[in-house]
Amino acid sequence: MILKLKITRPGAKIPTYGTPGSAAADLYACLEAPVTLAPGETAVITLGFAAAVPEGYVGLVFARSGLATKSDLAPANKVGVVDSDYRGEWMVPMHNHGAVPRTIEHGLRIAQVAVVPVARVDFEETEELDGTSRGDGGFGSTGRS
């Protein structure tokens, strides 16, 4: 599959896969100047491109584990959703979860995107749902012995 990109800012970098087995491609900050986030602060970081996610697919934007664990920087919305009909510039709202200021430089790999199929459903109200062995057991219910 080919995902077509349109560069919207000078210096933008096309997403890349870190290894042949990578499920998601790295996304790079495209900045005119570094952005420093104070502890607890969020800023929208531009990526410098727009893209055409194919119909029937979605781009899911996730944190990069190394950046999140070593530098306390991760997407503020946890998982970003890029719909197939969106054609604007891609951006990632980055949040500093740590106790010290962190700086995002141009070209830093700030997040990753996986392009995955989407199953669309029709929603139908009903009085009863099919039963399962779990039933209505909520958070942590499957870890009980």
The CATH number assigned to the domain holding 52 equals 2.70.40.10
Report the length, in residues, of the chain.
Answer: 145
Whether 144 maps to a domain, the answer reads no
Q: How many domains does the chain have?
A: 1
Measured between alpha carbons, how far is 84 from 59 in angstroms, rounded to an integer?
8
Whether 28 maps to a domain, the answer reads yes
User: pLDDT tens digits for 2-17?
Assistant: 999 999 999 999 999 9
User: pLDDT tens digits for 60-107?
Assistant: 999 999 999 999 999 999 999 999 999 999 999 999 999 999 999 999
pLDDT band at 145 (very low <50, low <70, confident <90, very high): low
Question: Is residue 102 within 8 Å of residue 36, measured between CB atoms?
Answer: yes
Whether 129 maps to a domain, the answer reads no
Q: Dump the DSSP string for 3-30.
A: -EEEE-STT----B-SSTT-SSEEEE--
Q: Quick one: pLDDT at residue 142? A: 76
Whether 8 maps to a domain, the answer reads yes
Whether 48 maps to a domain, the answer reads yes
Q: Quick one: pLDDT at residue 143? A: 72
Whether 126 maps to a domain, the answer reads no
Whether 113 maps to a domain, the answer reads yes
Burial class (CB in 10 A: 0-12, 13-18, 19+), 43: middle
Per the structure, the complete domain to which residue 77 belongs is given by 4-120
